[in-house]
């Protein structure tokens, strides 16, 4: 825990928003795996700011420089470290924030945790920018999964109260998920884009921000992945998802709906499909029962709170004066981080599946 994830596909994250560099060490990439730097760049660009009007105008190329574990284009099997340099930082914007705690941010919690020594510039290690290494690791993870026929994709399920059509949890296919990856504003029903963008624009105009929901799915995941209890698919996926700043809930399948229903409505009836494989007629469980995949698409939703950096005066405390005060955050901020978070959510799922499948393989090695 803390700055590391996983036993088999092991990640170590580091970096502060305005420090020298941020990065990730990945331990567990099979030796010989082709590392496709263009594919990494493609996913990094999906998260990078400056590419869409919903996001901050800051331009950060977020190019990953791999300094170890790579030789002649392939993973060596040794830990692979990717670095992303911090550029285009305007630290001046953040000066007043050292004393005055931004509401909804980690400022106060972090200040207590680290006795005031945390890097205050740009949120430091709490910055959403630190999700860039997750996307880097996720890019490699999804390439590993692709070899096994697994595809991951996510869409903007809602921005504020404007909702997209959900994935068809039974029939969602790889083509649909890949189409999501190709868009900066991925929607099942593209007709919702205009209304959603209008909400973001309205919030921006009022120096405010909006939240939303992301729905993510993986198809091609074999049955039998995951473990009961502490290594359940939900446990491992949610550990990663809740690492992502601003995600406040994780819902597998139709959790909220199931809680209001009866077992006769929520149980997913089972059948042999046309290929003789076991399948479910519905997928209310989101592809996971007993903590283990059942061969149906893995589907979950996360709620993302509005980014707390807003340009309006807010009541807060000043730790240096010990007084209450008002704070108006300046600088460039995203009025809505949901579109940029889509690839981060996908990455979390990809990483978790690698860990789970690798762990599963370990338990079968000495059979």
- In the region spanning residues 115 to 174, those forming contacts with its own copies, defined by CB under 8 A, are 115-119, 121, 124-126, 130, 144-145, 147-148, 158, 160-161
Which residue shows structure tokens 């624009």?
Answer: 201
Residues 236-255 within binding reach of its own copies (CB under 8 A): 236, 238-240, 242-243, 245, 247-255
Q: Does 175 bind its own copies (CB under 8 A)?
A: no
| Residue 349 C-beta: closest distance to its own copies, Å | 14
Closest distance between its own copies and the C-beta of residue 153, in Å? Answer: 19
Query: Is the CB of 61 or the CB of 79 nearer to its own copies?
Result: 79
Residue 307 phi, psi dihedral angles, 5° rounding: -55, 130
CA angle 39, 45, 47 (to 5 degrees): 115
Which of 1, 194, 205, 274 is the binder for its own copies (CB under 8 A)?
Answer: 1
Binding its own copies (rule: CB under 8 A), the pick from 74, 93, 170, 184 is 74
Is residue 267 part of the contact set for its own copies (CB under 8 A)? yes
The span from the CA of 338 to the CA of 242, in Å, is 15
B/e letters for 174-209, b = 16+ CB within 10 Å, e = fewer, are: bebbebbbeeebbbbeeebbeebbebbeebbeeebb
Residue with token string 């510039």: 121
- Identify the three-state secondary structure at position 271: strand
Please report how close the Cβ of residue 57 comes to its own copies at its closest, in angstroms. Answer: 18
Strand bridging mode 292-293 / 21-27:
unpaired
**Residue closer to its own copies, measured from CB, 152 or 258:** 258
Q: Pick one of 56, 139, 181, 232: the residue that binds its own copies (CB under 8 A).
A: 232
Count of other CB atoms within 10 angstroms of residue 64: 25
In the complex, what is the shortest distance from the CB of residue 175 to its own copies, in angstroms, rounded to a whole number? 23
- Round to whole Å and give the CA distance between 105 and 108: 7
Binds its own copies by CB under 8 A, chosen from 91, 271, 320, 330: 271
Question: What residues numbered 300-329 form the site for its own copies, per CB under 8 A?
Answer: 303-310, 312, 314-317, 319, 322-324
Between helix 132-146 and helix 338-364 the angle, nearest 10°, is: 50
Q: How far is the CB of 241 from its own copies (least distance, A)?
A: 8
Tell me if 80 sits within 8 A of 50, measured CB to CB. Answer: no
């Amino acid at each position: 825990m803390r700055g590391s994830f996983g036993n088999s596909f092991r990640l170590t994250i580091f970096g502060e928003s305005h420090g020298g560099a941020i990065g990730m060490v990945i331990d567990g990439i099979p030796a010989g795996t082709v590392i496709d730097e263009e594919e990494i760049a493609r996913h990094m660009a999906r998260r990078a700011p400056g590419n869409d009007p919903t996001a901050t105008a800051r331009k950060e190329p977020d190019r990953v420089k791999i300094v170890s574990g790579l030789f002649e284009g392939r993973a060596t099997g040794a830990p692979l470290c990717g670095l992303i340099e911090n550029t285009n930082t305007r630290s001046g914007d953040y000066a007043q924030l050292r004393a005055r705690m931004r509401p909804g941010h980690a400022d106060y919690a972090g200040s207590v945790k680290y006795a005031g020594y945390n890097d205050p510039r740009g949120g430091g290690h709490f910055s959403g920018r630190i999700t860039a290494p997750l996307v880097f690791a996720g890019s490699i993870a999804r390439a590993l999964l692709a070899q096994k026929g697994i595809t991951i994709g996510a869409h903007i399920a809602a921005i504020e109260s404007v909702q997209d059509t959900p994935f068809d949890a039974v029939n969602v296919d790889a083509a649909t998920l890949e189409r999501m990856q190709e868009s900066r504003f991925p929607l099942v029903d593209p007709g919702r884009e205009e209304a959603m963008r209008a909400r973001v624009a309205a919030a921006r105009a009022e120096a405010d921000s909006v939240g939303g929901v992301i729905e993510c799915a993986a198809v091609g995941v074999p049955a039998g992945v995951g473990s009961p209890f502490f290594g359940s698919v939900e446990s491992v996926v949610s550990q990663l998802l809740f690492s992502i700043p601003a995600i406040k809930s994780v819902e597998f399948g139709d959790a909220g709906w199931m809680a209001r229903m009866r077992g006769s409505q929520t149980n997913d009836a089972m059948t042999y499909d046309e290929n003789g494989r076991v399948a479910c007629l519905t997928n209310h469980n989101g592809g996971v029962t007993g903590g283990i995949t059942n061969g149906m698409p893995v589907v979950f939703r996360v709620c993302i709170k509005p980014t707390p950096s807003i340009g309006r005066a807010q009541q807060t405390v000043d730790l240096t004066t010990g007084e209450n005060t008002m704070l108006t955050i300046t600088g460039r901020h995203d009025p809505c981080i949901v579109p940029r978070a889509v690839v981060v959510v996908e990455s979390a799922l990809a990483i978790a599946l690698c860990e789970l499948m690798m762990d599963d393989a370990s338990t079968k090695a000495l059979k």
